Structure 1
Amino acid sequence: MDWDKLQYFLSVAHHGTLARAAQALHVDPTTVSRRVSSLEADLQQTLFERAPAGFALTAAGRALLPHAEAMAAAAARIHRAEGRSDLSGQLRISVSEGFGSSFIAPRLAAFVAAHPEIEIDLVASSGFLNPSRREADMAVLLARPRKGPLLTRKLADYSLGLYAPADRPDWRKAVEQAPLSRAGIAVIGYMPDILYAPELDYLGEIEPGLRATVRSSSILAQRRMIASGAGVGVLPCFLAAEDTALVRVRPDQTIGRSFWLALHRDVAPQPRVRAFIEWLDAQVREGRELLVPS
């Protein structure tokens, strides 16, 4: 069996689309498609179901996958014996905008320096890519997914609190003494009609019926609006605690949430995936006081 063609098969199986497989292999999608089709012709079997959303393994493809992965593992052992690193390739991580931008990104330099052959895509946005469909190798989600061929576990708890601009002590006093709905201060928060996760619907935990009057789909925009004096709002403590333009108000009111790690079962054994998870676990342990202030 042609090992070269099997590498293309593995890349499509792991990444789910021709485009991502081609990017990981540093070739064009046409080459990937041609090699996979050639392998199917050699085996006289259809290995993938082609669909607009991507490539899904057929029964024949699923039967071939463990054998191809065993060959890849053997090749990796040979590379290690020759002194070459198997910690290479593309790694795509989907995370929420705030956690990705304010917690992972500032700490990522050490991982990059330790593993220079790993190419990292940090997708930090308002919404998540789906590891079940191989849109990402792993995702840090706001809730535990209940469906799909995924390995999931809690990554960390985190706290949110009510914040005001540091240069408005009068607002701090007003918020401490009266309900926000009667304080005459704008409340900043998410747009309810495009809320990308129900776990972000937390204003009612500050006061029943509380609603935002200045809204954004971006938590980073909300932080900037609060810091600049547009109003008060709820922010993750890891996002706001070290910003000198913000001050916590009503510190006795704390909202608790969790981050959940999810990855497709097929990518879990990959060395680059294991290395990143070990690194991320260490960052979460070291940053616990920032995530859940005492």
Structure 2
Amino acid sequence: MQPRWDDLQDFLRVARAGQIARAAAAAGIDATTLARHLRRLEATLGQTLFEQSREGQVLTAAGEALLVAAEAMQQAASGIVATDADPDRLSGVLRVSVSEGFGTWFVAHHLRDFTAAHPDLTVDLVASSGFLSPSRREADIAVLLARPQTGPLVSSKLTDYALGLYAADLYAARHPLPVEPAAVRDHPLIGYVPDLLYAPELRYLAEIHDGLEPRIRSSSINAQYRLVAAGAGLGVLPRFIGDADRSLRRVLPERTIRRSFWLVTHQDTRGTKKVRAFREWLTGLVAAQRGRFG
């Protein structure tokens, strides 16, 4: 017995969204109906396609295999109904997961160039405190702070980048800035909420001086930037953020922190046209503006 096409489409919705409720809301259908379609598909195939986790639905090995086939079917079907004869024209949805700072301060400033070149492609730019997982098919492509060590992933270094300690001019006008690392502890520090860190690479202050702890804390790098710019204290910022604001100045410029961005895709989808096009566009853009990353 062959699976129904509408059941396969619902399977794709849940595989990409990671949750039945989220997929149903995005599609404008009832979650109970969507769940029933998934059960019917599993019964037709005689396989379990998802496992239930605290976060939602996670693909099984059988689900991963079906996802590759279903995406190929959907791409072929899109080509049949396409009105444009250009076989290289991109369509569908591309979901990109990036860190909040990189997404807001770099990708968002240039994304119009990519979307203008591909008018039939919808791009989801997920720029937040945390990452969607390419291995669980939550994103088509991700820019991560560390190279993944496990999973069916393909990764390459996008760029190294530098961070530094910053203060606003208005803060410096009221407070003498430290000229040695030990003196930083005498100033209010801005940083991440320790138990909400989504990556160990975000632990910065110890690389300025041992024992430093933030007194004003936020899970958002954009909020931290706003706090520094408002004169609330000193904070570590990526140089592509801090150097972009002329009202900020480097404190202890000899103390430079180094990190890297890694470009990550699932091994089964890395060769699809939309993923390849975005990867090549972003890699070229970063290379052309390498100076912004210190």
Partner in structure 1 of residue 147 of structure 2: 144
The DSSP-based 3-state class of the residue aligned with 1:145 is coil
Question: 1 CA distance for matches of 2:177 and 2:71?
Answer: 62
Name 1:227's counterpart in structure 2.
229
Deviations 1:153-192 (A, max 9, x none): 211111001111123445785312573345x321211222
Q: Given that residues 167 and 251 in structure 2 are in contact (C-alpha distance below 8 angstroms), is that contact kept between their aligned partners in structure 1?
A: yes
Matching residue of 1:48: 49
Q: Which residue of 1 aligns with 2:130?
A: 127
Structure 2 partner of 1:208: 210
The CA deviation at 1:40 is: 5.3
Could you tell me which runs of 5 or more consecutive residues in structure 1 were left unpaired when the two chains were aligned: none
The change in CA–CA distance for 1:50 and 1:81 in structure 2 (over 3 A counts) is: same
The runs of 5 or more residues in structure 2 that have no matched partner are none
Structure 1 pair 279–3 and aligned structure 2 pair: CA distance change class (3 A): farther
TM-aligned CA deviation for residue 274 of structure 1: 1.4
Deviations 1:64-95 (A, max 9, x none): 56655665565566659833665111122221
144-153 or 165-174, larger mean C-alpha shift: 165-174
| Backbone CA RMSD of aligned residues | 3.2
Tell me what 1:105 maps to: 108
CA distance in 2 between counterparts of 1:44 and 1:118 reads 31
Q: % of aligned pairs identical?
A: 47
1:284 maps to which of 279, 283, 286 = 286
Whole-angstrom CA distance in 1 between matches of 2:242 and 2:160: 16
Residue pairs, 1:175-214, within 5 angstroms = 175-176=178-179, 179-181=182-184, 184-214=186-216
3-state SS, counterpart of residue 220 of structure 1: helix
Task: Give distance in 1, aligned partners of 2:70 and 2:123.
Answer: 24
Partner of 1:89: 92
TM-score, with length taken from structure 1: 0.82
The Cα shift of 1:134 comes to 2.1
Aligned in 2, Cα 1:20/1:113: closer, same or farther, shift over 3 Å? farther
CA shift for structure 1 position 101: 0.8
Q: Is the 8 A contact 1:8 1:35 kept in 2?
A: no
Q: Equivalents in 1 of 2:103, 2:216: separation in Å?
A: 24
Change (3 A) 1:123 1:64: closer
The residue number in structure 1 matching 2:12 is: 11
Alignment check: 8 A CA contact 2:89 2:118 kept? no
The aligned counterpart of 2:265 is 263
So what's the TM-score if we normalise by structure 2? Answer: 0.82
Among 154, 160, 170, which residue is 2:157 paired with? Answer: 154
Q: How many residues align?
A: 288
- Counterpart contact for 1:6–1:68, Cα < 8 Å: no
Q: Distance in 1 between matches of 2:182 and 2:45?
A: 71
Q: Distance in 1 between matches of 2:25 and 2:123?
A: 12
Is the alpha carbon distance of 1:71 and 1:257 closer, same or farther for their aligned partners in structure 2, counting shifts above 3 Å? Answer: same
> Which residue of the partner structure matches residue 166 of structure 2?
163
Assess if the C-alpha contact under 8 Å between 1:159 and 1:236 holds in 2: yes
Q: Distance in 1 between matches of 2:89 and 2:4?
A: 17
Structure 1 residue 228: deviation in Å?
1.4
CA distance 1:32–1:286, shift in 2 (3 Å): farther
Which SS does the other structure have where 1:179 is aligned?
Answer: helix
8 Å Cα contact 1:225/1:231 also seen in 2: yes
